Structures are given as structure tokens and as C-alpha cells.
Amino acid sequence: MKERNSDVAVVWVNKGLNEQDPEKKLHYFDLALELDPNNPVALNNKGMLLYKKGKLHEAIECYDKILKQYNMSRHLPALYNKALALKKMERFEAALTFMNRALKQQPDSEKIKLHVENLTRIVEGKEEIKPRVETRIPIEKLAVNQVYTQWEPPAVSTLLAYEMKCSQKDIKYYKGFGEDLVKEKIIQDKLNRRVYCCGTCQFHKKELCQHKDTKAMLISQNAICRNFRPE
């Protein structure tokens, strides 16, 4: 069963790699990780997508899951990408540590060498750090009169844990072998048919979202977000 899950996960990974839309790419990688939580390709690509969305902590979590499998120092893409995320967070000493580890894996890389030189100058105080300008609009201002149209559903395991009234960490202890597999298929089917969408979410009231992250945002009936919970 485990080998079969891994094979199906590879199919979802390939779909994600070939997809152009970032949200759909992320969705495919999430599907792969539901079946194979340690798939390094899915984790690394999901991390890069989260990095681009500004979700740096979540991106680093993806890279860390890879590095735990590779003794923290033998997976070049995860080392390099974690260093970039740490640099973006202005954690320069930590970024330099991981960029140096990446350089050990590929000592001839001019790109990595330049990053190491730049981070070294910053850590040693030889290069002035320009203050980061916050350009993002606060969510409470962005939400008003805006229409949410993205299709970014939560993982099936998240919705299953919600229905079983337990945490995702505990779900494997409460989960049965027959009935809950059927529940998973039902949940996936509802997502595929767009039965589960903003219009059937418990936070949906009078065409507006009432969740704290997107409160007062208008919603499309063909949209869904990570905070979706069925009525």
C-alpha cells in the first residue's frame, strides 16, 4: 500500500511540475504530500511556492522536513532555498550557515559563492543593510470590497480531522481502516465537484466571509481557501 501511495504521489508531483498556475501547482504538491509526506521534490517545490507568497516560516518547515531525511547537509536545493528564506527574514548568520553548507555540496557554483560573499559582508558589518519597506496592504484593508476568487482548498486530511473532531496529529490514532477511507473519498469527491467551496463554508454569511483573515471579503462561489470548514 505504501509503495502504491508513493507511485500515485509521483503522478501528482509531475502534474505540479508541469502546471503553470501557482495555486494549482501548490494544490498538486499538497495532494502528493498527503500520500507521501516526505517526498523531497514535492516539499522543495511547495517551499519555493510558499516563499514566493511570503510565507517564509512555512517554506522553511518544508525544507527542514527534507533536511531531516538527509542528515541536515546533503540536499543542495533545500539548503540553498532555506538560506534564501532566512536571508529574507534578515536572519543573516543562520542564512550564511546554510549557504556555506550548500557551497560544500557544489563548490564550483558562482551563484552560491556570491551569496556567501554577500552574507559574509553583512554578518561582518561591512555592508549596510537597507531597511525593508513593507509594501503589503493589511489584510483587513485589503479584504473590504475585494472579491476572493482563488481555489486553494485545505488538505483532505485537515477536513477529515475536522469531521472526526481531532487534531491532525491524533488522526492516525483515531482513524479506522474502512469507514474513514470512505470519508476521505467523499471529501475528495466534494472538492473535485466543487460542492465544498466558499458558498458552503461555515464562515460564509450574506455573500461575505466572516473568517478573521478575510473578514468582509466578498467571495466567489467557485472559490475556496485553506480556512474552509463545511457548514
Domain encompassing residue 144: 139-219
pLDDT of residue 214: 66
Q: Clarify whether residues 66 and 118 are in a common domain.
A: yes
Does residue 145 sit in the same domain as residue 114?
no
Predicted pLDDT at 177: 44
For residues 157 and 49, state if they share a domain: no
pLDDT at 176 over 60: no
**Residue 47 belongs to a domain with what CATH number?**
1.25.40.10
Instruction: Say whether both 106 and 152 belong to one domain.
Output: no
How far the first Cα of the chain sits from its last, in Å, is: 33
Give a yes or no: residue 21 inside a domain: yes
At residue 112, does pLDDT exceed 90?
Answer: yes
pLDDT > 70 in the chain, percent = 80
Beta-bridge mates of residue 204: 209
| Same structural domain, 119 and 204 | no
Mean pLDDT comparison of 89-93, 202-206, 218-222, highest-scoring range: 89-93
- Structure confidence at residue 135 (pLDDT): 42
Q: What does the pLDDT look like over 9-47, one tens digit per residue?
A: 899 999 999 988 889 999 999 999 999 999 999 999 999
Q: Do 56 and 163 fall into the same domain?
A: no
Do 51 and 147 belong to one domain? no
pLDDT tens digit sequence for 59-93: 999 999 999 987 766 789 999 999 999 999 889 99
How many other CB atoms are there within 10 angstroms of residue 7's CB atom?
Answer: 11
Is the pLDDT score of 203 beyond 80?
yes
Predicted pLDDT of residue 211: 80
Domain end point (choices 65, 92, 123)? 123
Which of the two residues, 113 and 156, has the higher pLDDT score? 113
Q: Which of 33-42, 48-57, 69-78, 116-125 has the lowest mean pLDDT?
A: 69-78
DSSP string, the chain: -HHHHHHHHHHHHHHHHH--SHHHHHHHHHHHHHH-TT-HHHHHHHHHHHHHTT-HHHHHHHHHHHHHHTTTTS-HHHHHHHHHHHHHTT-HHHHHHHHHHHHHH-TT-HHHHHHHHHHHHHHTT-SPPPPPP--PPPHHHHHBT-EE--B-PPPHHHHHHHHHTS-TTTHHHH--SSHHHHHHHHHHHHHHTT-SSGGGBTTEETTEE-STTSTTBEE-TT-B-TT--B-
Asked if residue 204 has pLDDT above 60, the reply is yes
Question: What average pLDDT does the segment 212-219 reach?
Answer: 69
6 and 118 together in one domain? yes
Residue 134 resides in a domain: no
Q: How far is residue 150's CA from residue 209's CA, in Å, rounded to a whole number?
A: 13
Average pLDDT score, the chain: 81
- 140 phi/psi in degrees, rounded to 5: -65, -30
Q: pLDDT exceeding 90 applies to what percent of the chain?
A: 40
